[in-house]
């Protein structure tokens, strides 16, 4: 019996060791006081209320949701925002033309009047976080979804009385797989203007080759500004709007850093699955392989056309970038998951959990079926999930015209409050960045791949009745291939004309297969959700006192740690910073990933760094911290112990791409662009000193 207790303790230590540490954890701002002593010991010099406060200015007021998918930070008292270049990329591309190629040449507004309105772009600032778990679960039995949804709707309505503006937004999200619920209240600002961006050769230096890799030399930033009405309230775009006067903006430190210095990242991490089991990770790895294969084939089509034409390059820059980012992520994630044997690590945790359950009759009764439910759901739904991924990647992402048809049918059959003028503007934006020839090639490649890789029983009707070549050729006879055809239809849109169009009929055929699979998966999804909720609750009960953190779900979080190097393998030490010497070392003239603009090359060769040089005499490009980040954190501020901005987070390292599932403290690093490199580009390369004058510098 004594040996069994020792064994149980050892197993528990194995799982406890994977929970919260100084460099691991995505912490809710309103609960950061629990981490305060540890943060203070590492070099944090502020107080918890300096990070998050509802009643006074705090760091949370300077951190924004950028565009609904990234993070940004306010850096001046005139609403100036820094974020990543790849976060602003869609907006930069939106304003680019062959004659004004901001992707290739960059853009710097020399005055407020030159700042460019960006329709559709918004930023959000958090107002308040509230734990509403008890209220959401009030009267709920067996975790009844309908009752939970009704409670969330009621709570949201109550909070809207406190935040009544049309620009206020209330979100209530589940945490710990539905064991807790927190509310976030936001203000959305919808007049956001492009202020400055380096060219791709600087903001995307290294391209796909360097993506997710270290050492890195990418100056991944862009600059925007938030405008409000004359009374300081959020407003739609107007020429009479004025720059936002924020509650707080981040001062900037030019002092640099050294190994071991405190660093924290605030932002909106998108999704992690740290409580995932070995069964789920096995399925995720299958999907990663499939996603990488599908996207790789489509990207080859896009890249060939983009290389041949500046017009196509500009039209497809954002589409290619969005696809390639998680194409490489999927590849590197699987490499990391395999190299670090994360499935094996999770299996050990699951054994520890089962041992803990068996040691107590009450625990055995409450938690014994959790893992079995998860495994059964994963096994049963594996094939369906892969087919759904192929549908999403091949049809919904890989065939632009098909998804364009979806938007048309959705509007015609159910306008849902959207005006006809707004809908037409939205559709015209589609045609602005659309190439029939490129989409035809992509659609054909996707149709052929789907037919080869997916069982015939899951083929939409048009691929059962015709070859891929014939099906795609027929689809492209649609009136919706051109803006002229769309405009003619929308003058007098009829249900009959719509439903007989080949794009619409093809979309509906895909939708039939999709719905069948979703319906078949519903029972498995419910089983999986229930198993996850019970397992997560049990793991946190087992690790009582460990201060667990919830998975990322695009709510504002803080992660803290230090500036650190790392050893990816025996005999190799990765330094914690790079310099612009590496830009010149990597240069390949004329190469789309490693070309160096002539002006930048001259500045670097002359070591014309201005006041942005480090005390070692070099210009630092990027640096590493051991902060815990994921997608959505792109553009997040990296903040020192006194609340000053020292960099922008923009990537993770390939050796630890398993981080969404398992945090490896020895390998996982956050890649950041040094704020001094950012300012050097704005000042010395962009000659935009007016922006430098807006900033507040730490003494």
Q: Domain boundary residue among 189, 212, 230? A: 189
Whether the pLDDT of residue 15 is over 50: the answer is no
What's the rounded Cα separation, in Å, for the pair 635 and 85? 8
Encode 664-680 in three state secondary structure.
CCCCCCEEEEEHHHHHH
What's the rounded Cα separation, in Å, for the pair 233 and 412? 34
Closest CA to 267 of 627, 574, 673: 627
Q: How wide is the angle at C-alpha 581 spanned by C-alphas 576 and 584, nearest 5°?
A: 130
Nearest-10 Cα torsion for 104, 109, 115, 119: 10
Mean of the pLDDT values across residues 535-559? Answer: 93
The reported pLDDT for the residue numbered 547 is: 86
Q: Is residue 663 in some structural domain? A: no
Give me the half-sphere count of Cα atoms (radius 13 Å) on the Cβ side of residue 419: 3
Q: Is residue 297 in some structural domain? A: yes
Does 180 share its domain with 210? no
Does 527 share its domain with 634? no
pLDDT tens sequence across 420-453: 999 999 999 999 999 999 999 999 999 999 999 9
Q: 410-436 as b/e, with b when 16 or more CB fall inside 10 Å?
A: ebbeeeeeeeeeebeeebeebbebbbe
Closest CA to 132 of 149, 152, 146: 152
Neighbours of 511 (CB within 10 A): 16
**pLDDT-based confidence at 476, cuts 50/70/90?**
very high
Look at residue 532 and give its three-state secondary structure: helix
Q: Is residue 630 in some structural domain? A: yes
Whether the pLDDT of residue 10 is over 90: the answer is no
Encode 419-480 in three state secondary structure.
CHHHHHHHHHHHHHCCCHHHHHHHHHHHHHHHHHHCCHHHCCHHHHHCCHHHHHHHHCCCHH
Q: Is residue 414 in some structural domain? A: yes
Whether the pLDDT of residue 4 is over 50: the answer is no
Q: Domain boundary residue among 508, 542, 576? A: 542
User: Where residue 102 sits, what CATH number does that domain have?
Assistant: 2.40.10.120
The reported pLDDT for the residue numbered 361 is: 94
Does 184 share its domain with 200? no
Look at residue 123 and give its three-state secondary structure: strand
Domain that holds residue 560: 15-122+191-265+553-655+673-694
Contact present, 83 and 224 (Cβ < 8 Å): yes
pTM of the model: 0.94
Does 291 share its domain with 260? no
What's the rounded Cα separation, in Å, for the pair 78 and 80? 6
Categorise residue 212: left if φ over 0, alpha if ψ from -120 to 50, beta otherwise: left
What's the rounded Cα separation, in Å, for the pair 647 and 216? 14
Q: Is residue 427 in some structural domain? A: yes
The reported pLDDT for the residue numbered 413 is: 87
Does 454 share its domain with 470? yes
Active-site residues, by number, are: 86, 220, 634
Does 474 share its domain with 596? no
The reported pLDDT for the residue numbered 23 is: 73
Does 410 share its domain with 510? yes
Does 449 share its domain with 379? yes
Does 462 share its domain with 515? yes
Whether the pLDDT of residue 539 is over 70: the answer is yes
DSSP string, 142-185: TT-HHHHHHHHHHHHHHHHHHS-STTEEEEEEEEGGGTEEEEEE
Mean of the pLDDT values across residues 564-571? Answer: 96
Q: Is residue 507 in some structural domain? A: yes
Whether the pLDDT of residue 21 is over 80: the answer is no
pLDDT tens sequence across 672-685: 999 999 999 999 99
Q: Domain boundary residue among 481, 510, 542? A: 542
Does 299 share its domain with 445? yes
Neighbours of 364 (CB within 10 A): 14
The reported pLDDT for the residue numbered 524 is: 95
> Between helices 85-94 and 310-339, what is the axis angle to 10°?
160
Does 508 share its domain with 564? no
Whether the pLDDT of residue 17 is over 50: the answer is no
Q: Is residue 5 in some structural domain? A: no
301 CB burial (10 A radius; 0-12, 13-18, 19+): buried
DSSP string, 57-105: --GGGGEEEETTTEEEEE-BTT-EEEE-HHHHHHHHHHT--SSS-HHHH
If you average pLDDT over every residue of the chain, what do you get? 95
Domain total for the chain?
Answer: 3
pLDDT tens sequence across 359-384: 999 999 999 899 999 999 999 999 99
Does 598 share its domain with 536? no
More confident call, 416 vs 449: 449
């Amino acid at each position: 019996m004594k040996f069994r207790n020792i064994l149980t303790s050892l197993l528990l230590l194995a799982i406890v060791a994977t929970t919260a540490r100084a460099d691991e954890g995505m912490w809710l701002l309103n609960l950061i006081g629990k981490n305060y002593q540890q943060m203070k010991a590492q070099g944090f010099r502020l107080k918890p209320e300096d990070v998050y406060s509802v009643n006074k200015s705090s760091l949370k007021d300077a951190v924004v949701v950028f565009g609904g998918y990234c993070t940004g930070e306010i850096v001046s008292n005139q609403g100036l925002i820094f974020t990543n270049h790849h976060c602003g990329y869609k907006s930069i591309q939106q304003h680019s033309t062959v004659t004004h190629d901001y992707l290739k040449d960059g853009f710097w507004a020399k005055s407020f009047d030159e700042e460019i309105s960006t329709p559709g772009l918004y930023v959000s600032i958090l107002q308040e976080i509230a734990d509403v778990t008890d209220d959401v679960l009030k009267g709920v039995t067996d975790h009844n979804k309908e009752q939970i949804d009704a409670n969330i709707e009621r709570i949201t309505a109550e909070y809207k009385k406190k935040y009544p503006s049309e620009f206020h937004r209330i979100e209530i999200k589940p945490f710990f797989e539905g064991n807790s619920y927190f509310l976030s209240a936001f203000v959305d600002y919808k007049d956001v203007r492009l202020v400055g961006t380096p060219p791709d050769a600087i903001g995307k230096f290294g391209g796909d080759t360097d993506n997710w890799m270290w050492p890195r030399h990418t100056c991944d930033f862009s600059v925007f500004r938030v405008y409000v009405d004359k009374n300081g309230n959020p407003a739609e775009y107007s020429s009479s709007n004025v720059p936002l006067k924020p509650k707080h903006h981040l001062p900037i430190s030019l002092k640099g850093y050294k190994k071991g210095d405190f660093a924290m990242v605030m932002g909106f991490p998108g999704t992690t699955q740290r409580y995932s089991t070995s069964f789920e990770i096995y399925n995720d790895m299958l999907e990663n392989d499939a996603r990488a294969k599908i996207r790789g084939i489509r990207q080859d089509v896009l890249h060939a056309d983009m290389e041949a034409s500046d017009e196509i390059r500009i039209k497809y820059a954002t589409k290619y970038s969005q696809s390639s980012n998680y194409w490489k992520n999927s590849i590197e994630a699987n490499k990391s998951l395999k190299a670090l044997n994360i499935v094996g690590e999770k299996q050990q945790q699951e054994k520890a959990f089962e041992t803990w359950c068996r040691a107590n009759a009450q625990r055995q009764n409450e938690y014994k079926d959790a893992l079995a439910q998860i495994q059964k759901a994963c096994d049963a739904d594996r094939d369906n999930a892969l087919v759904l991924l192929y549908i999403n990647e091949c049809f919904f992402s890989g065939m632009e015209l098909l998804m364009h048809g979806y938007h048309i049918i959705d509007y015609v059959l159910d306008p849902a409050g959207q005006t006809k003028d707004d809908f037409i503007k939205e559709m015209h934006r589609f045609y602005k960045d659309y190439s029939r020839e490129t989409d035809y090639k992509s659609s054909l490649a996707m149709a052929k791949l789907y037919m080869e890789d997916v069982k015939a029983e899951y083929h939409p009707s048009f691929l059962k009745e015709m070859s891929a070549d014939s099906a795609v050729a027929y689809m492209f006879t649609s009136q919706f291939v051109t803006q002229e055809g769309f405009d003619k239809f929308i003058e007098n849109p009829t249900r009959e004309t719509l439903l007989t169009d080949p794009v619409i009929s093809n979309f509906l055929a895909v939708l039939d297969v999709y719905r069948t699979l979703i319906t078949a998966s519903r029972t498995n999804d419910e089983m999986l959700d229930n198993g996850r909720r019970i397992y997560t609750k049990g793991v946190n009960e087992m690790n009582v006192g460990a201060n667990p953190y919830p998975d990322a779900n695009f709510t504002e979080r803080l992660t803290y740690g230090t500036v650190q190097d790392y050893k990816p393998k025996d005999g190799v030490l990765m330094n914690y910073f790079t310099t612009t010497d590496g830009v010149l070392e990597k240069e390949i003239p004329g190469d789309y990933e490693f070309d160096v603009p002539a002006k930048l090359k001259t500045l670097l060769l002359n070591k014309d760094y201005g006041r942005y040089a480090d005390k070692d005499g070099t210009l630092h490009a990027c640096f590493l911290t051991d902060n815990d980040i994921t997608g959505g954190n792109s553009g997040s501020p990296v903040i020192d112990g006194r609340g000053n901005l020292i960099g922008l987070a923009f990537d993770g390292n390939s050796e630890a791409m398993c981080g969404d599932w398992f945090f490896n403290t020895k390998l996982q690093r956050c890649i950041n662009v040094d704020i001094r490199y950012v300012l050097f580009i704005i000042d010395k390369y962009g000659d935009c000193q007016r922006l430098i004058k807006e900033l507040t510098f730490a003494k």
